Amino acid sequence: MALLGIETLLLVCGVTFLLYLITKRQRHLKLPPGPTPLPLIGNILQLVFPNQVKAFVKLGSQYGPVSMVFLGQNPVLVLNGYDVVKEAFVENGEVFSNRGKNTFIEMLFKGRGVAFSNGETWRQMRRFSLSTLRDFGMGKRSIEERVQEEACSLVEEFNKTKGAPFDSTYLLTLAVSNVICSIVFGNRFEYKNETFLSVLALLKDTFRIVTSPWTQFFGFAPGFLQHFPGPHKMAAKNIGRLKKFVTEIVTTHEETLDENSPRDYIDCFLIKMRQGTTVFPMLTSIMKDPRYFKDPESFNPCHFLDEKGSLKKSDAFLPFSIGKRVCLGEGLARMEIFLFLTSILQRFELKCHMDPEDIDISPVPFKAASTPRPYELYITPR
Mean pLDDT calculated for residue range 133-140 = 57
The pLDDT tens digits of the residues spanning 240-278 come to 898 888 888 888 888 888 777 777 777 777 776 555 556
Cis before residue 50, ω within 30 degrees of 0? yes
CA distance 5 to 309: 75
The answer to whether the beta carbons of residues 179 and 150 sit under 8 Å apart is yes
pTM summary value: 0.67
The helix-helix angle for 143-159 and 330-347 (nearest 10°) equals 40
Residue 191 has pLDDT above 90, yes or no: yes
What pLDDT score was predicted for residue 1?
Answer: 45
What pLDDT score was predicted for residue 138?
Answer: 41
**Residue 327, annotated ligand binder?**
yes
Mean pLDDT calculated for residue range 218-229 = 74
Classify strands 348-352 and 278-282 as parallel, antiparallel or unpaired. unpaired
Residue 139 has pLDDT above 50, yes or no: no
Higher pLDDT, 173 or 163: 173
| Phi and psi angles of residue 118, each rounded to the nearest 5 degrees, phi first | -135, 170
- The percent of residues in the chain predicted with pLDDT above 90, rounded, is 9
The pLDDT tens digits of the residues spanning 79-106 come to 888 888 888 888 887 777 777 777 777 7
Residue 12 has pLDDT above 90, yes or no: no
Higher pLDDT, 141 or 362: 362
13-17, 117-121, 184-188, 368-372: the lowest-pLDDT one: 13-17
Instruction: Give the pLDDT band (50/70/90) at residue 173.
Output: very high
Instruction: Give the pLDDT band (50/70/90) at residue 381.
Output: confident
What pLDDT score was predicted for residue 8?
Answer: 64
Average pLDDT of the chain is 79
The answer to whether the beta carbons of residues 214 and 175 sit under 8 Å apart is no
What pLDDT score was predicted for residue 358?
Answer: 81
Instruction: Give the pLDDT band (50/70/90) at residue 15.
Output: low
Please list the residues that pair with 348 across neighbouring strands.
381
297 HSE (CA, 13 A, CB side):
3
